Structures are given as structure tokens and as C-alpha cells.
Amino acid sequence: VPVSEVTVQDESFAENYLKNFFNMTEQKGPSTRRGISPLSKKLSEMQRFFGLHITGALDGETLEMMKKPRCGVPDGKIAR
């Protein structure tokens, strides 16, 4: 069984990152239990933007990119 390299704290960090920079909204209600989760969709979007391997899952490579110093303007969006 592969050892997970992503902690609960990492997941929380990633959710905040995706809310800040990829316009991810809060996950609410039972509709999120079916199909691809909003988190996975936003992870795929982020991985595509940065040219990473697109898995839709939080992995070490994705987390490393999220932790790099960066500009605080949401990608491709106007801060309203």
C-alpha cells in the first residue's frame, strides 16, 4: 500500500489555495457526492495551468507548486 505523502493540513492548505487562486467555491450538499468533486475539477484546472501531470488529485508535485512564492492575484480572474 503506497504511503500517502499528503497530510490533512496539506488538504486544508490546498482547498484555501484553490479558493484564493482558482475561484473554487464552498462544497455544499449531497450533489457533491456524485461525479467528479469540485476539488478534483479545480485541481485538474490548476495542474493544467501549471503544466503539471493532470490527475485531479492532490499529490506531492501539485502541493510543491502551491507552496512556491507567488503573486496574490487570482489566475485569469479580476479580483472583484
Partner 1 sequence: FSTFGNSLKWEKNSLTYRIENYTPDMSVAEVDDSINRALQVWAKVTPLRFTRIYSGTADIMVSFGRQSHGDYYPFDGPSGTLAHAFAPGSGIGGDAHFDEDEMFTFSSNRGYVLFLVAAHEFGHSLGLSHSDDPGALMYPVYSYRDPSTFVLPRDDVNGIQSLYGSNPS
Q: At residue 72, what is the residue type?
A: G
Residues 6 or more apart whose Cβ sits within 8 Å of residue 6: 58, 59, 60, 63
Nearer to partner 1 among residue 45 and residue 58 (C-beta): 45
Nearer to partner 1 among residue 11 and residue 32 (C-beta): 11
Could you say whether residue 10 binds partner 1 (CB under 8 A)?
Answer: no
CB of 37 to partner 1, least distance (A): 24
Question: By CB under 8 A, what part of segment 11-70 binds partner 1?
Answer: 21, 49-51, 65, 67-70
Binding site for partner 1 (CB under 8 A): 21, 49-51, 65, 67-73, 75-79
